[in-house]
Amino acid sequence: MREEIITSGRLNPHIDPHLEIWHWQIPLYLFLGGLAAGILFFAALYTIMGKEDKYPGAVRRAPIIVPFLLILGLFALFLDLKHKLFFWQLYTTIKFQSPMSWGAWALMAITPLSIVWVAMHIREFFPKWDWKYDLLKDLEIEALKYKVHIAWIIIVLSVILGIYTGILLSAFNARPLWNTSILGPLFLTSGLSAGAAVIILFAQSKKERELFIKIDLLLIVIELFLITHLFMGFLASTSVQIDAANLFLGGQYTAPFWIFVVILGMLVPAALKIMELRHFKIPVIIPVVMVLFGGVMFRFIIVFAGQMSRWLY
């Protein structure tokens, strides 16, 4: 028998009995950030492809919620900080080896840009909007001139936003559950899927709606493939990774993961979407809410389960 114990009573708050340094604020931000990234990605994509008028819901309408999502997400992040008064230190330097630093700067760039994008399309919701000040009126004209350029910047930033959180977690080799390069693409795909689902709600035409239902369906299939790949990778890896995978294969997070994330968050909405495409009458909101719910649960479970996975003791 092998007995390995800490005899001097280590009980550091948030570290023992297992790591719990991040609570609800982080998964909430991850979700909001991923969703925002998804929406902005499609908005920028279809602008670049010149299909702005064909898919106005995606390009002009859905992005209105993005600034709110981002600000809410940033606030959640701020709440999570334990040394709040010093948060501005994040913006005194950029550390290329720290995905959190990229994220801080990316958010710093994309939040104002998303506000600009919304401002550019404010007349979708408020047709009689008047900027009042000449400066703002001129800026609007300039922005519309360079819309495609802005869209290119947004598309790059939205990909970074969507994928960096996964890369951030995967850089923590101390938490075997996160230490897989699949996590980045998985987060990005999940974010895009959530974005596509929300865009469905803002879709202006049946064609737009059907397009995004198909896009979301495709993204869900990719997600399922990546999840399979994730588990195959864990189970073929080192013992700490196998232990991490076992959290979902008989361990504490088995039921929540497979039921909430996979079944309710991916398989059932996928089935509903197929039925929608086959012209069955499904209330639009149901699959959307399920996808979003699945996205939220996915991030919560990954963040909490990841903190339980460990190398020692």
Residue 12 beta carbon to another protein: minimum distance, rounded to whole angstroms: 4
Interaction between residue 5 and another protein (CB under 8 A)? yes
Taking residue 100's Cβ as centre, other Cβ atoms within 10 Å add up to 14
By beta-carbon proximity to another protein, the closer residue of 3 and 134 is 3
The answer to whether 118 and 64 have CB atoms below 8 angstroms apart is: yes
> Is the torsion defined by CA of 72, 74, 77, 78 positive or negative?
negative
Q: Give dist(CA 211, CA 37) in Å, integer.
A: 19
Which residues contact residue 186 at a Cβ distance below 8 angstroms, ignoring those fewer than 6 apart? 166, 223, 226, 227, 230
User: Site map for another protein, 104-123, x if CB under 8 A?
Assistant: x-------------------
Which residues contact residue 58 at a Cβ distance below 8 angstroms, ignoring those fewer than 6 apart? 39, 42, 43, 46, 199, 202, 203, 208, 212
Which residues contact residue 196 at a Cβ distance below 8 angstroms, ignoring those fewer than 6 apart? 38, 42, 212, 215, 216, 219
Q: Stretches 52-60, 145-153, 172-180, 254-262: which one binds another protein (CB under 8 A)?
A: 172-180
Interaction between residue 89 and another protein (CB under 8 A)? yes
Interaction between residue 7 and another protein (CB under 8 A)? yes
Interaction between residue 168 and another protein (CB under 8 A)? yes
Q: Stretches 115-123, 166-174, 242-250, 262-270: which one binds another protein (CB under 8 A)?
A: 166-174
Near another protein by CB under 8 A: residue from 81, 148, 285, 286:
81
Cα–Cα distance list, 235 to 70, 248, 265, 313 (Å): 36, 11, 24, 21
The 3-state DSSP class for residue 286 equals helix
Residue 22 beta carbon to another protein: minimum distance, rounded to whole angstroms: 6
**How far from the centroid of its chain's Cα atoms is residue 240's Cα?**
27
Interaction between residue 235 and another protein (CB under 8 A)? no
Interaction between residue 173 and another protein (CB under 8 A)? yes
Residue 46 beta carbon to another protein: minimum distance, rounded to whole angstroms: 33
Interaction between residue 243 and another protein (CB under 8 A)? no
Q: Stretches 52-60, 91-99, 149-157, 201-209: which one binds another protein (CB under 8 A)?
A: 91-99
Interaction between residue 8 and another protein (CB under 8 A)? yes
Interaction between residue 136 and another protein (CB under 8 A)? no
By beta-carbon proximity to another protein, the closer residue of 59 and 104 is 104
Q: Give dist(CA 241, CA 95) in Å, integer.
A: 28
Residue 245 beta carbon to another protein: minimum distance, rounded to whole angstroms: 18
Interaction between residue 93 and another protein (CB under 8 A)? yes
Cα–Cα distance list, 69 to 36, 74, 93, 95 (Å): 6, 9, 25, 26
Interaction between residue 232 and another protein (CB under 8 A)? no
Interaction between residue 17 and another protein (CB under 8 A)? no
Angle at 296 between CA 290 and CA 299, to 5 degrees: 135
Near another protein by CB under 8 A: residue from 24, 147, 171, 225:
171
Q: Report the interface residues with another protein, using CB under 8 A.
A: 1-16, 19, 21-22, 80-87, 89-90, 92-93, 95, 97-101, 103-104, 168, 171-175, 238, 307, 310-313
